């Protein structure tokens, strides 16, 4: 008998028929004798719809109230799913994040989990029930208010519970058959990745592959939780995220464990995949004095505005003016706040003007093999140049190269780079079963 944590994303529970389908899958795990904890997201595009609704009331909803509103989406899904499971003859009990013991800090909209005390979940399992937990929410230790973990955060709820309950595996059910070499919504020839390391998955998630919430991968690595990404619409094998590979994984209630083949475990492709991110913006601080302390002061202001920046490029200053330009990328959602803060500090920083655009796209090539294989960047730049795509910024890590392009060219760039690195698959595996891609 295993303890399995399963997470079902919004597209897997988009309507009543989907909720019933998911309930049957959960019931089959129970029938096979496993303990099951389920984390569920809000149905379909409910979270986006609730945000739209709030924005019709006010452009700046208070974080506390927005979190209260958004967590309602997961409550609807969890109660309906519990009802559906009860109808299969297995007991199910639903819990909010707070009831499930998900304790967070107090930062609304992007709260961090600081502790998980799943006493009530353990109790439900001990009584033979399936425990259903509302995803992406918790309660602040200090304010006792309800918080959310940020968009896509249900993955992190699932991994955190799996760690706290010492689960055998955490299964992430979504609307594609696992992690692919690129977003299947964009690249129809994307290939399924059977096994991927935490390190590479972290880079993919950070670079915009939203199939897994970045923090869920961090959590899985820190606590050694085996992650299995798969589709709730098929019984295909999915993607295993583990260190070293070779471990046995539950795959279905009937055929409980699958061990990656020797070939899958051994194979170390140079490139794991191509990720893209269309949600970034770019700010250029033009004509800032090229003296010590200016970059520090600039980024101190950016940090105080709450933005996580990514790429930074500083030009060589011109000798005559002694001034330089600094460009950086940040989430477009933080664009307005950062712009305002920098403009307010124009006198102090002494720059000439700010240029802002959200019409940029970021493409990232990820692969642990880059460390030991020269020529990867040259091939990337050549692929982009052959496709006639201009590169605006470049940044690298040990196992990632990212470029910024014009937003309008991003999709084309991803397809071209995917082909250039030989990642195209011939067998049409990249099926998108549901969801609107919102």
Q: Of 9 and 184, which CB lies nearer to ligand ASP in the complex structure?
A: 9
| Planar angle of CA 48, 104, 221, nearest 5 degrees | 90
| Planar angle of CA 46, 51, 52, nearest 5 degrees | 95
Residues between 133 and 162 that touch ligand ADP (CB under 6 A) = 152
Q: Which residue in the set 21, 75, 110, 185 belongs to the binding site for ligand ADP (CB under 6 A)?
A: 185
Residues in the chain, total: 438
> Residue 290 gets which letter from DSSP?
-
Residues between 12 and 41 that touch ligand ADP (CB under 6 A) = 12, 41
Q: Of 97 and 152, which CB lies nearer to Mg ion in the complex structure?
A: 152
Pick what 11 binds: Mg ion, ligand ASP, ligand ADP, none; C-beta below 5 to 8 Å, kind-dependent.
Answer: ligand ADP
Q: Which residue in the set 171, 175, 203, 277 belongs to the binding site for ligand ADP (CB under 6 A)?
A: 175
**What does the block give as tokens for 110?**
């992007």
Q: Of 172 and 417, which CB lies nearer to Mg ion in the complex structure?
A: 172
Residue nearest to Mg ion (CB): 152
CB of 10 to Mg ion, least distance (A): 7
- With contact defined as beta carbons under 8 Å apart, do 265 and 195 qualify? yes
Pick what 153 binds: ligand ASP, ligand ADP, Mg ion, none; C-beta below 5 to 8 Å, kind-dependent.
Answer: ligand ASP
- Letters for 94-133 (x = contact with ligand ADP by CB under 6 A, - = none) are ----------------------------------------
**What does the block give as tokens for 207?**
């670079």
CB of 15 to ligand ASP, least distance (A): 15
Residues between 247 and 306 that touch ligand ADP (CB under 6 A) = 273
Which residues share a beta bridge with 357? 282
Pick what 180 binds: ligand ADP, Mg ion, ligand ASP, none; C-beta below 5 to 8 Å, kind-dependent.
Answer: ligand ADP
Write out the residues near Mg ion by the rule CB under 5 A.
9, 152
Backbone angles phi, psi at 169, to 5 degrees: -160, 155
Residue nearest to ligand ADP (CB): 9
- With contact defined as beta carbons under 8 Å apart, do 357 and 394 qualify? no
Coil, strand or helix: which one is 137? strand
Q: Of 47 and 104, which CB lies nearer to ligand ADP in the complex structure?
A: 47
Write out the residues near ligand ASP by the rule CB under 6 A.
9-10, 41-42, 47, 73, 135-136, 151-154
CB of 150 to ligand ADP, least distance (A): 12
Secondary structure tally for the chain: helices H, strands E: 13, 22
Name the H helices within 242-330.
262-266, 294-304
CA dihedral 59, 65, 70, 73 (to 10 degrees): -130
Pick what 183 binds: ligand ADP, ligand ASP, Mg ion, none; C-beta below 5 to 8 Å, kind-dependent.
Answer: ligand ADP
> Residue 372 gets which letter from DSSP?
G
Instruction: Name the nearest CA neighbour of 137 among 150, 124, 121, 118.
Output: 150
Residues 366, 370: Cα–Cα separation, whole Å: 8
Chain residues in the site for ligand ADP (CB under 6 A): 9-12, 41, 152, 174-176, 179-180, 182-185, 209-211, 273, 432, 435, 437
């Amino acid at each position: 008998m295993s303890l399995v944590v399963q997470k079902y994303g919004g597209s897997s529970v988009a309507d009543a028929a989907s909720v019933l389908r998911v309930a049957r899958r959960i019931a089959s795990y129970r029938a096979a004798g496993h303990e099951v904890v389920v984390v569920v997201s809000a149905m379909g595009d409910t979270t986006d719809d609730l945000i739209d609704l709030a924005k019709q009331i006010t452009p700046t909803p208070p974080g506390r109230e927005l979190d209260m509103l958004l967590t309602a989406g997961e409550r609807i899904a969890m109660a309906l799913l519990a009802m559906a499971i009860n109808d299969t003859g297995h007991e199910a009990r639903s819990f909010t994040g707070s009831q499930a013991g998900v304790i967070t800090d107090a930062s609304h909209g992007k709260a961090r989990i600081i502790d998980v005390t799943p006493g009530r979940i353990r109790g439900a399992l001990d009584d033979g029930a399936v425990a259903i937990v509302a995803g992406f929410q918790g309660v602040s230790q200090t304010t006792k208010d309800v918080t959310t973990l940020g968009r896509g955060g249900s993955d992190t709820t699932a991994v955190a519970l799996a760690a706290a309950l010492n689960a055998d595996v955490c299964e992430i059910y979504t609307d594609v058959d696992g992690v692919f070499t690129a977003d299947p919504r964009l690249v129809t020839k994307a290939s399924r990745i059977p096994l991927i390391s935490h390190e590479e998955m972290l880079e993919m998630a950070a670079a915009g592959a939203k199939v897994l919430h970045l923090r869920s991968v961090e959590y899985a690595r820190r606590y050694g939780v085996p992650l299995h990404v798969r589709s709730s619409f098929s019984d295909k094998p999915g993607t295993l995220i583990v260190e070293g590979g070779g471990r046995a994984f539950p795959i279905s209630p009937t055929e409980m464990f699958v061990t990656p083949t020797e070939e899958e475990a051994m194979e170390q492709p140079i490139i794991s995949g191509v990720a893209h991110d269309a949600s970034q913006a770019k700010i250029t601080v033009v004509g800032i004095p090229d003296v010590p302390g200016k970059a520090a002061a600039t980024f101190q202001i950016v940090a105080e505005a709450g933005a996580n920046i990514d790429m930074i490029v500083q030009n060589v200053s011109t000798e005559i003016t002694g001034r330089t330009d600094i460009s950086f990328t940040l989430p477009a959602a933080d664009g307005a706040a950062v712009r305002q803060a920098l403009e307010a500090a124009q006198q102090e920083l002494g720059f000439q003007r700010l240029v802002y655009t959200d019409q940029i796209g970021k493409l990232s090539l990820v692969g642990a093999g880059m460390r030991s294989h020269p020529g990867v960047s040259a091939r990337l730049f050549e692929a982009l140049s052959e496709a006639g795509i201009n590169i605006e910024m470049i940044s690298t890590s040990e196992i990632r190269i990212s470029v910024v392009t014009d937003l309008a060219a991003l999709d084309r760039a991803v397809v071209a780079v995917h082909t250039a690195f030989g990642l195209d698959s011939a067998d049409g595996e990249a099926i998108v079963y549901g969801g609107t891609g919102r």
